[in-house]
Amino acid sequence: MSAGDAGSVRDADGAGDGIRSQTLAAAVAAAARTRRYGSWYVAEHRFRVMRSYAQTVLFTAVGSPLIYLYAMGVGLASLVDGNLGGNAVNGVSYLVFLAPALLSSSAIAVASEEFTYPIMLGFKWNPTFFGMNASSIQPGQIVNGILISVAARMLLTCAIFYVFMLVFGAVPGALGFIAVPVALLTGLAFGALVMAYTATLKDDTGQLAMLQRFVVLPMTLFSGTFFPLDLLPPYLQWIGWISPLWHGTELSRVFAYGRPEPIWLSVVHVLYLTALLAIGWFWARRLTLRRLNK
């Protein structure tokens, strides 16, 4: 993702006289840093805001892997493994099967938190985006800055989650750590779409709660997360195919425990997630520009 926005300004509008080109040169110099680093300044703002709920960020980042890995990877797993044996699913224990999915889900959780209410806030409830846009910052840079800041929080969350996976002994594969960037890509692919969707909302009359209930929750349940997708009746399997979580989880399982998968399918996972991210990003930038340029 490029942090800078719109190319730099070069020519002088055909201005002939000295005063005009001087004015222009001074103006170009004054805005040059923001043209280049504006996205990072927006991210800086987001980090400052996140600091006010840093405790929540850390608590969820540490608490949720503990809770989920213990409840499902240990508790539920004892039932599954008890019935199906120590190589219950995909030839590995239930904990090993489940952990990469929980990791990707934690990235999705960060996305569905950070790309909903904070976006609504910036456009509507406390319209700071309009304030940013009145400075040298451009609308696209606001979108970039938010993506950067959320990516940072997501990376932190996933890294901590991964450490707990190691502690629980859930990662037999040597390349398991690659599951972290895969989870990041998964979270951002979904999140960029959510951000774009939220940018279309003039008012929140329950849409964001519906999104949680009817998109995020079903996606978490039916993306090959807790059981392989092929256990679903064939007419429901499409849920997995369109779900970024399924693509992300399947890919991270390849690295976490060497789940066999044809290479073309792994490539499809990466391409699909990248495409979602690109579409969401592009769409969010367009909508933001349209909404701020009244």
Nearest approach in angstroms of CB 134 to another protein is: 4
Applying CB under 8 A, the span of 40-48, 58-66, 243-251, 264-272 interacting with another protein comes to 40-48
Please give the structure tokens belonging to residue 46.
């987001």
Please give the structure tokens belonging to residue 280.
């969401």
- The angle at the Cα of 129, spanning 9 to 291, to the nearest 5 degrees, equals 80
Q: Is 52 in the site for another protein (CB under 8 A)?
A: yes
Q: What are phi and psi of 89, to 5 degrees?
A: -125, 140
Q: How many CB atoms lie within 10 A of CB 248?
A: 31
Interface size with another protein, residues (CB under 8 A): 39
**Residue closer to another protein, measured from CB, 51 or 213:** 51
* Binds another protein (CB under 8 A): choice among 2, 7, 10, 13: 13
Q: Is 83 in the site for another protein (CB under 8 A)?
A: no
Nearest approach in angstroms of CB 11 to another protein is: 10
Please give the structure tokens belonging to residue 197.
């969707």
Greatest Cα-to-Cα distance within the chain, rounded to the nearest angstrom: 85
Applying CB under 8 A, the span of 33-41, 61-69, 194-202, 240-248 interacting with another protein comes to 33-41
Nearest approach in angstroms of CB 42 to another protein is: 8
**DSSP track, 11-49:** S-TT--SHHHHHHHHHHHHHHHHHHHHHHHHHHHHHHHH
**Residue closer to another protein, measured from CB, 96 or 148:** 148
**Cα distance between residue 8 and residue 31, in whole Å:** 10
Q: Is 203 in the site for another protein (CB under 8 A)?
A: no
**Cα distance between residue 102 and residue 98, in whole Å:** 6
| Residue count (the chain) | 294
Q: Is 23 in the site for another protein (CB under 8 A)?
A: yes
Task: Confirm if 190 and 245 have CB atoms less than 8 A apart.
Answer: yes
**Residue closer to another protein, measured from CB, 31 or 215:** 31
Task: Confirm if 193 and 280 have CB atoms less than 8 A apart.
Answer: yes
Q: Is 28 in the site for another protein (CB under 8 A)?
A: yes
Applying CB under 8 A, the span of 15-23, 70-78, 235-243, 251-259 interacting with another protein comes to 15-23
Applying CB under 8 A, the span of 28-36, 108-116, 172-180, 191-199 interacting with another protein comes to 28-36
Q: How many CB atoms lie within 10 A of CB 46?
A: 21
Burial of residue 147 (CB within 10 Å: 0-12, 13-18, 19+) is buried
Q: Is 174 in the site for another protein (CB under 8 A)?
A: no
Interface positions, 107-146, toward another protein (CB under 8 A): 126-128, 130-138
Q: Is 150 in the site for another protein (CB under 8 A)?
A: no
Nearest approach in angstroms of CB 274 to another protein is: 29
Q: Is 41 in the site for another protein (CB under 8 A)?
A: yes
Sign of CA dihedral 152, 154, 155, 159: positive
Interface positions, 263-292, toward another protein (CB under 8 A): 292
- The angle at the Cα of 2, spanning 270 to 251, to the nearest 5 degrees, equals 15
Q: Which residues bind another protein (CB under 8 A)?
A: 6, 9, 13, 19-20, 23-24, 27-28, 30-35, 37-38, 41-42, 44-45, 48-49, 52, 126-128, 130-138, 292-294
